[in-house]
Amino acid sequence: MSEQAKYPRFIQEVDLLEVCQQFGTPLYVYDAQKIIDQIQRLKNAFSRGQAKFKFAAKALTNQSILKLIRKQGLGLDVVSIQEVHLGLQAGFKPQEIMYTPNCVAFTEIQEAVELGVTINIDNLPLLDRFGQTYGSSVPCCIRLNPGILAGGNFKISTGHHRSKFGISALRLEEVLHTVSRYQIFVNGLHIHTGSDITDVDVFMMGAELLFKTAMKFPQLQFIDFGSGFKVPYKPDDAFTDLEQLAQRLQEKFDIFCQEYGRPLEMWFEPGKFIVSEAGFLLASVNVVKPTPDITFIGLDTGLNHLIRPMMYDAYHKIINLSRPDGEKQRYDVVGYICETDTFGSDRDIAQVHEGDVIAILNAGAYGFSMASNYNSRLRPAEILIYEGKAHLIRKKENLEDLLKNQIAIEL
Ligand SMILES: Cc1ncc(COP(=O)(O)O)c(C=O)c1O
């Protein structure tokens, strides 16, 4: 059998069915080699320039994954003070961490400044307060909202005028006024237009805006182009042409740097591109339930473990790992949560029996990191397949975890 045909039953020769037997289901499993390969693809595509990559930790914050990514030489992009701490705990140096908060209390910003991470400012009142507090003593980056509507789903489009993210590029005069009033040291400019952007022209539009705006900020050290690189979720699905993007962006960036008068660093913050395809949610079939319209496959997991399909209609390929060669039948694949929690409708899957193990693909990004205890369900274990061995990198929760912060008062 070819390596491709075996995948994903076997990852680096490790049999996922055996892993399920050993650790139980449901289970998140990650392929370390795939993460390393994706990072290498990024490095190869942008090999000509001054590119730096900061992994968007929100996609997957497990310490072992963060350590693996740090080992590949990447920095970290974080969105909460807790993610700052997780990053430091995983060994990232403060100067390798970019903190892009949104609507957080100023005390979080102060804590992050004290920890020494790069601060990205995404609203005008915050810029004012930052200037009042720190003047020119602490550098900061400014997140612009480019006014571009793009991305796979409205809920993951972050660069349009109705989005809460960033400072509208139309309010540049006010930004400049505040910067000059407090002599703020602006060391970077940033945009992140959204996730799942396939059209290279969209990235280029954002880049042009950044280049134009950058000419007004003489102390810059980097331009952060955010992310949005799409990976394929379906067979024949569209994805970001990274190589084309790198080539076009690099050309424009070189011209920009000449006009700017000195070379700057080019930053990116990919999350999904690095970990999405490396991750699998494995679950057992609790029930096969025929109804007059459709046959349901009911799994021992639900939207509490993978919310993307219900949250923004995300498509995840689903396969029968136990019996991949059976005759295809049409199913709706659902979870055990007392809400509608459909993982996939009208899916043709090799005939399923109770007890079979089902694999939900592309579950590495925004899978476990968005998991919850809804319905008082336990969050699953996480396994990293690294150098041909399955490592437990997070234990499955237990009832004590559900109760540990609760206080039952005397009534
Ligand atoms: C500021 C910021 N940077 C980077 C990312 C990562 O995006 P993606 O997972 O599409 O690469 C996100 C995700 O929403 C984000 O909000």
Q: For 19-34, what is each residue's pLDDT tens digit? A: 999 999 999 999 999 9
Region 102-112: mean pLDDT is 96
* Confidence tier at 343 by pLDDT (50, 70, 90): very high
Higher pLDDT, 4 or 205: 205
Q: Is residue 338 annotated as part of the catalytic site, yes or no?
A: yes
Smallest CA separation from ligand 1 atom 1, residue: 192
Count CB atoms within 10 A of the CB of residue 16. Answer: 23
Kindly report the CATH number that applies to the domain delimited by 3-24+279-363+365-403.
2.40.37.10
pLDDT band of residue 149 (cuts 50, 70, 90) is low
Give the nearest ligand 1 atom to 276 CA: 9
Q: Taking a C-beta distance cutoff of 8 angstroms, is the pair 383, 29 a contact? A: yes
- Which of ligand 1's atoms lies nearest the C-alpha of 156? 14
> Cα separation of 196 and 228, whole Å?
5
Give 37 Cα–ligand 1 centroid separation in angstroms.
20
pLDDT of 1 higher than 60: no
Pocket of ligand 1 (CB under 6 A): 56, 59, 77, 100, 192, 195, 226-229, 269-273, 365
> Would you say the CATH fold of 32-272 matches that of 3-24+279-363+365-403?
no
Positive or negative, the CA dihedral 190, 193, 199, 204 is negative
The protein residue with its alpha carbon nearest to ligand 1, atom 6, reads 271
Token look-up 């407090």 returns: 182
CA-to-CA distance for 350 and 323, rounded, in angstroms? 7
Mutate to test the pocket of ligand 1, among 80, 195, 233, 267 (most ligand atoms within 8 A of CB): 195
pLDDT band with cut points at 50, 70 and 90 for residue 153: low
Mean of the pLDDT values across residues 43-54? 90
User: 29 near 301, Cβ under 8 Å?
Assistant: no
Catalytic, out of 140, 141, 257, 338: 338
Statement: residue 139 has pLDDT above 70: yes
Can you tell me which atom of ligand 1 is nearest the CA of 366? Answer: 9
Mutate to test the pocket of ligand 1, among 35, 58, 121 (most ligand atoms within 8 A of CB): 58
Q: What mean pLDDT, rounded, does the chain reach?
A: 93
Cα-to-centroid distance, 75 and ligand 1 (Å): 14
Position 4 scores a pLDDT of 43
CA distance 149 to 159: 6
Burial (CB < 10 A; 0-12, 13-18, 19+), residue 157, is buried
Judged against a pLDDT cut of 90, whether residue 118 lies above it is answered with: yes
Q: Rounded to the nearest whole angstrom, what is the distance from the C-alpha of residue 340 to the centroid of ligand 1?
A: 27
Which ligand 1 atom sits closest to the C-alpha of 143? 1
Query: CA nearest 220: which of 141, 145, 134?
Result: 141
Atom 16 (ligand 1) nearest CA: 192
CB 147 within 8 A of CB 159: yes
Lowest mean pLDDT among 9-23, 238-252, 326-340: 238-252
Q: How many angstroms separate the alpha carbon of residue 195 from the centre of ligand 1? A: 6
pLDDT tens column, 383-404: 999 999 999 999 999 999 999 9
Cα-to-centroid distance, 410 and ligand 1 (Å): 45
CATH class name, domain 32-272: alpha beta
In the chain, where are the structural domains located? 3-24+279-363+365-403, 32-272
Query: Given ligand 1 and candidates 145, 192, 231, which is best to mutate, with the most ligand atoms within 8 Å of its CB?
Result: 192
CA of 228 to the centre of ligand 1 (A): 6
Ligand 1 geometric centre to CA of 165 (Å): 12
User: In angstroms, how far is CA 145 from the centroid of its own chain?
Assistant: 19
Model confidence at 374, pLDDT cuts 50, 70, 90, reads very high
281-322, pLDDT tens digit by residue? 999 999 999 999 999 999 999 999 999 999 989 999 999 999
For the CA of 269, the nearest atom of ligand 1: 4
Who wins on pLDDT, 147 or 234?
234
Top mutation candidate among 227, 239, 273 for ligand 1, by most atoms within 8 Å of CB: 227
